[in-house]
C-alpha cells in the first residue's frame, strides 16, 4: 500500500485547486498509514549508501558509480520493510 501511494504521488501533476485538495486528502491518509506502521514497529529497510545485503535487498541492476564504492546500494526503486528486525518485504535497488 505504501508503494502504491508513493508511485501515485510521483505521477500527480498538481495544476488545479481541485487536484491540490485531492492530493492533500491522499497525503493525510498516507500519513495515517505510516503512523500505524510505526506503531507496529514497521520501518523501511535502509538502502542508499548502505552495503548490499542479499538478505535485505533485491538487486535490479548493477551500475558503476563515482560516488559510491563497489557493493554499495546507489538507488532504491521500491522500499522494503522490517518489523522487529525481521524482514517483511525486500527492497529493490
Based on the domain organization, do 55 and 87 belong to the same domain?
yes
What's the CATH number where 57 sits?
Answer: 2.30.22.10
Nearest by Cα to 78 from 69, 89, 88, 87: 89
Total domains in the chain come to 2
The pLDDT assigned to 21 comes to 92
Find the domain containing 35 and state its range. Answer: 1-40
Based on the domain organization, do 36 and 46 belong to the same domain?
no
In whole angstroms, give the CA distance from residue 42 to residue 53. Answer: 19
Rounded to the nearest 5°, which phi and psi values hold at 52? Answer: -65, 130
Nearest by Cα to 51 from 76, 70, 66: 70
Which residues of the chain register pLDDT less than 70? 85, 89-91, 93
* CB-count burial class (<10 Å; 0-12, 13-18, 19+) for 92: middle
C-alpha cell, 13: 501533476
Amino acid at each position: 500500500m505504501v508503494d502504491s501511494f508513493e508511485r501515485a504521488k510521483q505521477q500527480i501533476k498538481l495544476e488545479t485547486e481541485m487536484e491540490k485538495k485531492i492530493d492533500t486528502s491522499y497525503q493525510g491518509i498516507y500519513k495515517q498509514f505510516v503512523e500505524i506502521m510505526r506503531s507496529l514497529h514497521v520501518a523501511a529497510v535502509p538502502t542508499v549508501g548502505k552495503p548490499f545485503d542479499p538478505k535485505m535487498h533485491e538487486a535490479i541492476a548493477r551500475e558503476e558509480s563515482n560516488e559510491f564504492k563497489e557493493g554499495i546500494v546507489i538507488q532504491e526503486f521500491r522500499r522494503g520493510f522490517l518489523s522487529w528486525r525481521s524482514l517483511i518485504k525486500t527492497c529493490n535497488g
